[in-house]
Amino acid sequence: LLGSLISRISPNLIRYASSSSASSTGRKVAVLGASGGIGQPLSLLLKLSPLISDLSLYDIQHTKGVGADLSHIETRAKVKAYVGKEELGNALKGMDLVVIPAGVPRKPGMTRDDLFNTNATIVADLVSACAKNCPRAIIAIIANPVNSTVVIAAEILKANNVYDEKKVVGVTTLDVVRAATFVAEAKGLDPTKVNVPVIGGHSGNTIIPLLSQVSPPVSFSQQELDSLSTRIQNAGTEVVEAKAGTGSATLSMAHAGARFSFSVLEALSGKQGVVECGYIASHDGEFSHFATPLLFGRNGVEKSMGTGKLSDYEKKLLEKAKKELNTNIQSGLTFAKQYL
């Protein structure tokens, strides 16, 4: 009954209830920062998935309580809670996928880059532990500024001789989720059926929604293009301001992180044609890292689907993004050099 109810609500939610995949090899997933605003609801959503056999919760505080609570839910995943640095190695051993929402969130008036000093070190420490304990895992980075933290992760894995660029991805799914919601609202469409690719990076100007490539195809006036693009780029700030100093997006991010994770896990299990946008090492253009739609497979990202043909409007957005994206990438490289 739950399955049929959920399937009427949203195709994305079928992933929580579908029993057909429960017989497949269960995957091992770790959430680092599991006690946080994103970490708790993300861990809840992951606990509901029949794809996951083991859910490892790590944080520097409160994970024992979060773990005890989630462990009572009658679903497949066995929950284990780890707290503090000395338990980090055990939290990571054998993992197929490590999702990282650890770090401080924005307060009103802050940019994602203002989080750099704190979060860069947190991500560097956590990824160093991944290099030692689960070098083959796919690493999904939520911690901001994503444009830099992914670059840091890549440098650390390189220094440990375990870098596989197909396995380190910055999670930009929330931009895609927001874009679909706002376009559906503007055009009176079912949001679960709308797909809007978002390329570039994950902060302000670097978020480039491709409104010329919306599926199903829709056309926009110049005014709609301006207002929708601006709203998608500033949607995170909308939430930061509404939360008035208590944090940034957590619930919608938990959904986006779970959606991304399920896509990765389905592709690992052999599902064909799984595409999600993500920020990853790139060799196609002038940036060492760039977000595009990515095709996932049994070993992580199989290939980037590229940007497709950009409209003149999108070419201008890309032009405006260049400086910030390059600066963010450079900050990541500079930090990694000092850290290593």
Which stretches of the chain bind ligand NAI, using CB under 6 A? 32-33, 35-39, 59-61, 101-106, 115, 119, 122, 125-126, 142-144, 146, 171, 174, 202, 247-250, 253
**Closest separation in Å from C-beta 118 to ligand NAI:** 8
- Helices then strands, counting H and E runs in the chain, come out as 11, 11
The residue from 202, 255, 283, 289 that is catalytic is: 202
8 A C-beta contact, residue 261 and residue 274: no
In 3D space, the residue among 255, 250, 215 whose CA is nearest the CA of residue 236 turns out to be: 250
Q: Which is nearer to ligand NAI, 17 or 210 (CB)?
A: 210
CA distances from 244 to 234, 237, 240 (A): 15, 10, 6
Q: Which is nearer to ligand NAI, 119 or 213 (CB)?
A: 119
**Closest separation in Å from C-beta 200 to ligand NAI:** 13
**Closest separation in Å from C-beta 108 to ligand NAI:** 13
Residue numbers in the known binding site for substrate are: 106, 112, 144, 178
Measure the CA dihedral 206/252/211/106, to 10°: -20
Q: Which is nearer to ligand NAI, 38 or 77 (CB)?
A: 38
Residue numbers in the known binding site for NAD(+) are: 33-39, 59, 119, 142-144, 253
Direct distance between the N- and C-terminal alpha carbons of the chain, in angstroms, rounded to an integer: 53
Q: Which is nearer to ligand NAI, 118 or 219 (CB)?
A: 118
In 3D space, the residue among 239, 241, 259, 260 whose CA is nearest the CA of residue 250 turns out to be: 239
Q: CA 148, CA 166: separation in Å to the nearest integer?
A: 17
Residue numbers in the known binding site are: 33-39, 59, 106, 112, 119, 142-144, 178, 253
Q: CA 306, CA 287: separation in Å to the nearest integer?
A: 13
What own/partner pairs with CB < 8 Å and gap ≥ 24 does 219-222 have?
220/186
Can 202 be counted among the known catalytic residues?
A: yes
**Closest separation in Å from C-beta 280 to ligand NAI:** 14
Residue closest to ligand NAI (Cβ): 36
Could you list the active site residues? Answer: 202
